[in-house]
Amino acid sequence: MRYLLLRSTALACLIVTFSLPCRAAETGAQYLDSSWIKAMRANDLEAVLKTYAPDAVVWLPQIKEARGEKTIRATFEGLLSANTVKEVVLSETGYRTMGKVSVGWGRFSLTLAPKSGGSPVVMMGRYTDIAERRGGRWVYIVDHASAEPAATEGPKQ
């Protein structure tokens, strides 16, 4: 009787486990976006830099283009030394992975608390990134973010 109960319970657990919806593993740009968010929320410069290829290019709102390891480091070093990242949110995301290349896009919200004091600053905008699988790992080769444009009136009739 005990054996039958144990066997029935195990079978029920298997049925429930395999009937639950499975979430596909994150890959490419989606994996990198998750890693980048985690690194930024931790204010971890080295972890942020690990998401970029040595020859990547980064365009951030109101910041000069960062091309290559040295300038990407300087860009994020400046951002993180002056601010504490409080929150990062990506929304309306889309991803496509084709072999060793992956693209991601969507909207972002980045909340920064200036270390010099004052109210947190919320940056909002749109982004597009391109990732490539190199040496067995995904890295950004292009990271482009633009500020949310000012609201405008619709066309006049």
Confidence of residue 2 (pLDDT cuts 50, 70, 90): low
Query: pTM of the entire structure?
Result: 0.79
Q: Note the pLDDT tens digit of each residue in 122-140.
A: 999 999 999 999 999 999 9
pLDDT of residue 25: 61
pLDDT number for residue 15 = 41
Between 157 and 5, name the one with better pLDDT: 157
For 66-79, what is the mean pLDDT? 97
Strand order in the sheet with 121-134: 66-67, 52-59, 137-147, 121-134, 101-114, 83-98
Assess contact for 85 and 41: CB atoms under 8 A: yes
Coil/strand/helix, residue 2: helix
Whether 114 has a pLDDT exceeding 50, the answer reads yes
Helices (H) and strands (E) in the chain, counts: 4, 6
Q: Give the lowest-confidence range in 10-24, 57-71, 94-108, 136-150.
A: 10-24
Q: Which of 28, 25, 40 is nearest to 129 (CA)?
A: 28
Domains recognised in the chain with CATH numbers: 24-147 (3.10.450.50)
Q: Show Cβ contacts of residue 72 under 8 Å, excluding neighbours closer than 6 positions.
A: 49, 52, 56, 58, 66
| pLDDT category of residue 19 using cuts at 50, 70 and 90 | very low
